[in-house]
Amino acid sequence: MSALRAALRISRRDALRAKGRTALIMVMIGLPVLAITALLTLSSTTDLTPREELPSRLGSVADAAVLANPTTLPVEQEPAGRWGSQDPDKTGAPAHWTTAEVARLIGGRAIPFYDYTADARIQDGFERVDLLEIDLRDPLTGGLRRPAEGRLPATPQEIAVTPALLDRGVRVGGTLQLTRSGAPKRVVGVVENPTRPGVMEVVGLYGSVLAKKVDPQGNGWLVDTPGPVTWEKVRELNQAGLRVASRAVIESPRGEQRDYARFQRDDWLWLAIAVLLVVTETVLLAGPAFAVGLRRRRRELATIAAQGGSPAHLRMIVLADGLVLGGVAALIGVALGIGTGAVAESIAARLLDWNSGPVDVPWAEVLGVAALGLLSALVAAVAPAVQAARQSPARVLAGRPDEVRDRPARPLAGLVLLVLGLSLTVLLAFQPHWLMSVSGVRVLSESRHELLVVAASTVVLFGLILLMPWLVRRTAPLAARLPLPARLSVRDATRHRARTVSAVAAVMAATMGAVTVGLAYTTTYTAEQRMNRIDAPEGTLTVQSSDLDAATWARVRAAVQERLPGASLVPALEAQDGAGHSIATMIQTESPECASEECQHYGVSYFDVPIGDARVLALLQGRRDPQAAAALAAGKVVVFDPRLVSDGTVSLTMLPRTGDGGPEKKLRAPAVVAQGAQPEQGGAVVPASAVTAAGYRTAERRIYVPPAGHVRDQRDLQRFSDHLQSVTTHAYAGLAQDHTAQKLATLLAAALAAAVVLVLGGTFAATGLAVADMRRDLDTLHAVGGRPLTRRLVVAAQAGYIAGLGALIGLVAGAVTGRSLSASMAWMWGDNPVVVPWAFLAALVLGLPLLAALLAGLFTRTRAKPARRVA
């Protein structure tokens, strides 16, 4: 124990002396601990227990909340009363409870409330907000909503709002219109929801906003009883058709339940693989940094050995570095992670309307994460500890470099793992359907298939890590053909394989993971995009309606023109039956290439294609196409998805939008294939003659607005839709957006950002060690006339070699594993070729090594120090 205490003191002193290296190691180890701890804290804090939800459900005074249901049938509820159900196969009498009846059943005092939603006119249009009708002046509602400003509503013409509505322009002293036909009500105060600080909620007296309660389940009563409302009393009220949230039950062990999802066996396997990969990457990144510390302390360790220290003592000192730095980094990561999670939760709860409770730290999971960080640091220090025990004290104290032991590499274990992993990966890549189903019986689920792919990829990764010393050694002969700076760098890297291998393996692992993700998701999203095509050019705004008369549609059209002044409106038609009911025109797939069960299941069809003329066709094609326009004028359907056409015709299904429209009808119509405005655009244009010939009539009930920046995103679309809703609730708007491409771009950007951090971190740590090892050679190079530029080029070549070799190996391995993962993820879309994200791979495999070399060359020191030599 005394030796361990001495080793810990030495490690602590060295950590304070080498602040830069210490900070680097602590960031590499502590950052994952911080991030995971923050996520765990955020998740646990926002996942409220029934007890934590009590303030916003019952306040601080009420003993229970009694909640109505549509009928008087018995209710099955969970103990906290958050949900309940009635038998859907039985018909019960409609529930019409009065406050007096509820008070008699519960045996105490009751006050009514109504908890539902309503339309509020905010800024330029109506938006849906939460509505609570209750008299907050009653002592029984104490703590239910906290007054923050002004006063509580006292008359039916007064309301209070939450702070989120203040952010949307509502002001105390102003007015707010609730419901589309209601009179504006005066805002007299601001109240806060105890568990939802970001909710947009309006509070008024009971019955002051909605005279007609559209949802019986919004009705409820806060009750005050002489004694606790027991579980037996709750079950008694359930038999009468009432759901009950009892404070006594919720605060008992029966009601204190959290909705945790049970971990299945596959979940544990996913977790085990994730932990293994995180530890491995951390070890590979932090290993060179520990090796840098070993190089700095060679003379100190040699002195200890010369004074009687054993190899075990030297190993203990270096391992103590891992214990000290890993332990401190884990503790700091946990502390900062808890704080970060708490701050992120408070911001997210206010801005995103998340649940918010007291800060809740899942200590078991957090301590496990901290132990994981400590374990990573100890494992990263193992290799430097072994090297410290093997160094020659005499050579170190004499100032001579260590002898390089060119022991033959033994790649057998790595080769076995690599062959095993590649075999399973190739099998999963080229036989996914055989593994999914044998004789029509499902034997492997999609998630299990992906789990096997990731497991096989992990085996490939560890095989390559074990093979890395042999692979690095094989690059040594290439140095003879390189320019002087690169030749010096490559030879030095291959001589000091202990530090080079770790950095190259870290870069390889990061690149392999990024390439695998990039190939798999690009292939999957491209297949999904090809199968589910957008039916208009991206950014096109569509306004349409159902069951509107001509006068109301004219007001809708005027509202669109008023909202979008200067916009070019392209009208389209809809089919109607003899009674004027709207009929949707659907085109279904008839191509033999899409006859499989999966293809039919995922619905290659277009539900509501437009009926129009050459103007609509020109909009959807983005140009004038005389041949397509002539075919449309001749009564042929123009389609932009070849899969819709079979033998020169398409299948039209006329679907009534409401139950009054009669049965659906199927038609066949001649068709031609044309090119849409975008390569992956689908949809079609149906001529009016094809519909009228089947006995339907047509009327203008759709407007297209070409992409021109009028409505750019979902927020603009929501505001525009709210404006339409002020005219009629039967009109709605849609924006053609390729969400698949947006998701793919976000995913690739995130993968590239993670790769940048890992690749540059590992490269710079190893390059710093290489510069320390090469200082004598670089000083000699300066002494014989080498320019500072040559010194920079040597360092840049060292960084470029490490990052380039790791990226190249990672690219080859990731291409194989990515092919397998794409097959497991995209099988539902049929047989799809692998789609290569060339720009992403170029940035990853070429851009990152060049960036690493550039930064290393720019920030290296060019001043030489005379070396002390001892004969």
- The whole-number average pLDDT for the span 65-89 is 90
Residue-wise burial string across 426-463, b where 16 or more C-beta atoms lie within 10 A, e elsewhere: eebbeebeebbeeeeeeebeeebbbbbbbbbbbbbbbb
Measured CA distances, 674 to 427, 594, 645 (Å): 40, 19, 11
At residue 432, the pLDDT reads 52
pLDDT at 671 over 80: yes
At residue 443, the pLDDT reads 45
pLDDT tens, position by position, 318-368: 899 899 999 999 999 999 999 999 999 999 888 888 889 889 999 998 999
> Taking a C-beta distance cutoff of 8 angstroms, is the pair 640, 683 a contact?
yes
The answer to which of 102-106, 112-116, 321-325, 826-830 has the lowest mean pLDDT is 826-830
At residue 619, the pLDDT reads 94
pLDDT tens, position by position, 286-318: 877 787 777 778 888 888 888 888 888 888 998
Which pair of tokens denotes residue 193? 């929801």
Gyration radius from the chain CA atoms = 35
> Taking a C-beta distance cutoff of 8 angstroms, is the pair 356, 197 a contact?
yes
Question: Beta strands 582-588 and 605-606: pairing type?
Answer: antiparallel
pLDDT tens, position by position, 703-724: 999 987 678 777 778 778 877 8
The answer to which of 17-31, 435-449, 570-584 has the lowest mean pLDDT is 435-449
> Taking a C-beta distance cutoff of 8 angstroms, is the pair 300, 393 a contact?
no
Which pair of tokens denotes residue 31? 């950052």
Measured CA distances, 501 to 109, 469, 765 (Å): 76, 6, 12
Spatial CA neighbour of 734 closest among 586, 493, 581, 534: 534
CA 463 to chain centre: 30
pTM assigned to the model: 0.74
Q: Count of CB atoms within 10 A of residue 19's CB?
A: 9
DSSP assignment of 462-493: HHHHHHHHHHHHHTGGGGGGS-HHHHHHHHHH
At residue 262, the pLDDT reads 47
- Which of residues 806 and 768 earns the better pLDDT score? 806
Which pair of tokens denotes residue 564? 């979008």
Q: How far apart are CA 813 and CA 865, in angstroms?
A: 42
Q: How far apart are CA 482 and CA 495, in angstroms?
A: 16
CA atoms within 13 A on the CB side of 755: 34
Which pair of tokens denotes residue 722? 């709210």
Spatial CA neighbour of 384 closest among 283, 471, 460: 283
Residue 229 has φ and ψ, to the nearest 5°, of: -85, 105
At residue 452, the pLDDT reads 86
Q: How far apart are CA 34 and CA 342, in angstroms?
A: 12
At residue 614, the pLDDT reads 94
At residue 94, the pLDDT reads 87
Spatial CA neighbour of 714 closest among 736, 741, 681: 736
Measured CA distances, 375 to 275, 280, 317, 371, 599 (Å): 11, 11, 16, 6, 48
- The whole-number average pLDDT for the span 12-16 is 88
- Which of residues 511 and 600 earns the better pLDDT score? 511
> Taking a C-beta distance cutoff of 8 angstroms, is the pair 696, 583 a contact?
yes
pLDDT at 505 over 80: yes
- The whole-number average pLDDT for the span 592-610 is 60
Bridge partners of 427, per DSSP, are none
Spatial CA neighbour of 267 closest among 427, 450, 510, 49: 450
- The whole-number average pLDDT for the span 136-165 is 96
At residue 609, the pLDDT reads 93
At residue 264, the pLDDT reads 61
Residues 6+ apart with CB under 8 A from 414: 462, 463, 464, 465, 466, 467, 468, 470
The answer to which of 181-190, 274-283, 677-686 has the lowest mean pLDDT is 274-283
CA 241 to chain centre: 41
Spatial CA neighbour of 559 closest among 184, 129, 125: 125
Q: How far apart are the first and last CA of the chain?
A: 40
At residue 599, the pLDDT reads 45
pLDDT tens, position by position, 252-282: 886 665 544 445 666 777 778 888 888 888 8
pLDDT at 438 over 50: no
At residue 488, the pLDDT reads 86
Residues 6+ apart with CB under 8 A from 442: 436
Q: How confident is the model at residue 446 (pLDDT cuts 50, 70, 90)?
A: low
Mean pLDDT of the chain: 85
- The whole-number average pLDDT for the span 587-612 is 64
Measured CA distances, 229 to 224, 225, 235, 236 (Å): 9, 7, 10, 11
Residue type (1 letter), 528:
E
- Which of residues 85 and 605 earns the better pLDDT score? 85
Q: Taking the domains of the chain in order of start, what are their residue ranges? A: 51-250, 480-534+738-871, 535-737
Question: Beta strands 570-576 and 697-705: pairing type?
Answer: antiparallel
Q: How far apart are CA 461 and CA 609, in angstroms?
A: 49
Spatial CA neighbour of 304 closest among 5, 17, 6: 6
pLDDT at 77 over 90: yes
Question: Beta strands 437-438 and 441-442: pairing type?
Answer: antiparallel
- CB-based burial label for 774 (10 Å; 0-12, 13-18, 19+): buried
Q: E strand or H helix at 437, and its extent?
A: strand 437-438
At residue 96, the pLDDT reads 87
Which residue's entry shows tokens 């002001």?
Answer: 171
The region, left, alpha or beta by phi > 0 then psi within -120 to 50, assigned to residue 59 is left
pLDDT at 598 over 50: no
Q: Helix (H) and strand (E) counts for the chain?
A: 29, 24
pLDDT at 487 over 80: yes
Measured CA distances, 624 to 613, 618, 681, 708, 783 (Å): 12, 5, 16, 18, 73
Q: How confident is the model at residue 862 (pLDDT cuts 50, 70, 90)?
A: low
Question: What sections of 826-859 are H helices per DSSP?
Answer: 838-842, 848-859
- The whole-number average pLDDT for the span 820-829 is 73
pLDDT tens, position by position, 224-241: 999 999 999 999 999 999
The region, left, alpha or beta by phi > 0 then psi within -120 to 50, assigned to residue 556 is alpha
